[in-house]
Structure 1
Amino acid sequence: MSHSADVAPTPERAIVSVGVLTASLPLAQSFQHASSGLIDRLEEVVVKVGLADGTVGWGEVRGNAPYVTGETQSRIVAALSDVHAPAVVATRPTTPTALNRLLAGLAMGNSSARAAVSIAAEDAWARQAGLPLQAMLGAGDVKTVRVHGTIPFCAPDEAARRAERYLDIGIRRIKQRVGLSFEEDVARMRAIGDVLKNHPAGPEAEIAADANQAWNAKEALRRIATFERLGLAFLEQPVRAADIRGLKEVRDGAGIPIIADESVGTPGTLMQVIEAGAADGFHFKLVKAGGPRQLMGMVAIAEAAGLGYMMGQMDEGQLATAAALHCAAASNPFSCELWGFQRVGSQPFSGLEFVDGTIRLPDGPGLGITIDEDGLTPVAHFGTPFA
Structure 2
Amino acid sequence: MRIYNIEVFPLILPMKQDFTISSGSVGAKSQGAPHVYVKVTADNGAIGWGEARPSHRWSYETLETVTSTLTNYLRPALLGANVTDLCTIHSIMNKEIKAGPGSGQPIAKAAVDMAVLDLIGSASGKTLSELWFSAPKTTTQLSYLISTSSPEEAERKALYAKSKQYKGLDVKIGIDPSRDIEILDAVKSAAPDLFLRVDANQAYNVQQAVKLAKRMEQIGIDVLEQPLKANDLFGHAELRRKTCIPIALDESIWTAGDLVQAVRAEACDTVVIKLTKMGGLTGAKLCGDIAREAGLGLLGGGLTESRLGLTASAHLFNYLNIAEPVDLNGPIFLQDDPVHEGPIIEEGHVILPDKPGIGCEVSMEKLDAYRI
The TM-score bracket by the shorter chain reads over 0.9
Residue 121 in structure 1 maps to residue 103 in structure 2: no
Shift of 1:105: 2.2
> Any idea what the Cα deviations from partners look like across 1:259-315, whole Å, max 9, x if unmatched?
000000111111111110000111111121101111111011101101111121101
Equivalent of residue 259 in structure 2, options 256, 263, 270: 270
Residue 207 in structure 1 maps to residue 196 in structure 2: yes
Q: Distance in 2 between matches of 1:94 and 1:378?
A: 32
1:22–1:378 Cα contact (<8 Å) kept: no
Residue 14 in structure 1 maps to residue 9 in structure 2: no
Structure 2 CA distance for partners of 1:172 and 1:378, relative to 1, 3 Å: closer
* Matching residue's letter, 1:266: T
- Matched position secondary structure for 1:346: coil
Q: Distance in 2 between matches of 1:331 and 1:124?
A: 22
The residue that corresponds to 2:305 in the other structure is 316
Equivalent of residue 24 in structure 1, options 4, 7, 12: 12
Q: Distance in 2 between matches of 1:85 and 1:92?
A: 14
1:20–1:379 Cα contact (<8 Å) kept: no
5+ long unaligned stretches in structure 2: 99-103
* Matching residue's letter, 1:332: N
- Matched position secondary structure for 2:191: helix
Residue 234 in structure 1 maps to residue 227 in structure 2: no
Q: Distance in 2 between matches of 1:341 and 1:193?
A: 23
Structure 2 CA distance for partners of 1:357 and 1:341, relative to 1, 3 Å: closer
Shift of 1:190: 1.5
* RMSD (Å), alpha carbons: 1.9
* Matching residue's letter, 2:343: L
Equivalent of residue 72 in structure 1, options 58, 62, 65: 62
The residue that corresponds to 1:50 in the other structure is 41
Shift of 1:83: 1.0
Q: Distance in 1 between matches of 2:195 and 2:284?
A: 27
Q: Distance in 2 between matches of 1:75 and 1:248?
A: 34
* Matching residue's letter, 2:146: I
Structure 2 CA distance for partners of 1:115 and 1:378, relative to 1, 3 Å: farther
Q: Distance in 2 between matches of 1:38 and 1:364?
A: 32
> Which is further off, 230-239 or 84-93?
84-93
- Matched position secondary structure for 2:185: helix
* Matching residue's letter, 1:328: F
The residue that corresponds to 2:350 in the other structure is 359
> Any idea what the Cα deviations from partners look like across 1:349-374, whole Å, max 9, x if unmatched?
14222346221111211111121112
The residue that corresponds to 2:366 in the other structure is 375
Equivalent of residue 189 in structure 1, options 184, 189, 212: 184
Equivalent of residue 157 in structure 1, options 134, 152, 163: 152
- Matched position secondary structure for 1:32: strand
Equivalent of residue 232 in structure 2, options 238, 243, 256: 243
1:138–1:330 Cα contact (<8 Å) kept: no
Shift of 1:340: 2.2
Structure 2 CA distance for partners of 1:27 and 1:355, relative to 1, 3 Å: closer
Equivalent of residue 177 in structure 1, options 172, 179, 182: 172
* Matching residue's letter, 1:231: G
- Matched position secondary structure for 2:123: helix
Work out the percentage of aligned pairs sharing the same amino acid: 28
* Matching residue's letter, 1:118: D
Equivalent of residue 339 in structure 2, options 333, 336, 349: 349
Residue 340 in structure 1 maps to residue 305 in structure 2: no
Residue 98 in structure 1 maps to residue 93 in structure 2: no
Shift of 1:377: 4.7
| Count of matched residue pairs | 361
Equivalent of residue 218 in structure 1, options 197, 207, 222: 207
The residue that corresponds to 2:275 in the other structure is 286
Q: Distance in 1 between matches of 2:276 and 2:310?
A: 11
2:26–2:57 Cα contact (<8 Å) kept: no
2:83–2:116 Cα contact (<8 Å) kept: no
Shift of 1:66: 2.7
> Any idea what the Cα deviations from partners look like across 1:40-97, whole Å, max 9, x if unmatched?
121111110011221111001112x134331111101111111111111143443222
Q: Distance in 2 between matches of 1:181 and 1:355?
A: 31
Shift of 1:378: 11
1:137–1:327 Cα contact (<8 Å) kept: no
Q: Distance in 2 between matches of 1:255 and 1:89?
A: 51
2:6–2:41 Cα contact (<8 Å) kept: yes
Q: Distance in 2 between matches of 1:255 and 1:340?
A: 31
Normalized against structure 2, the TM-score is what?
A: 0.92
1:15–1:94 Cα contact (<8 Å) kept: no
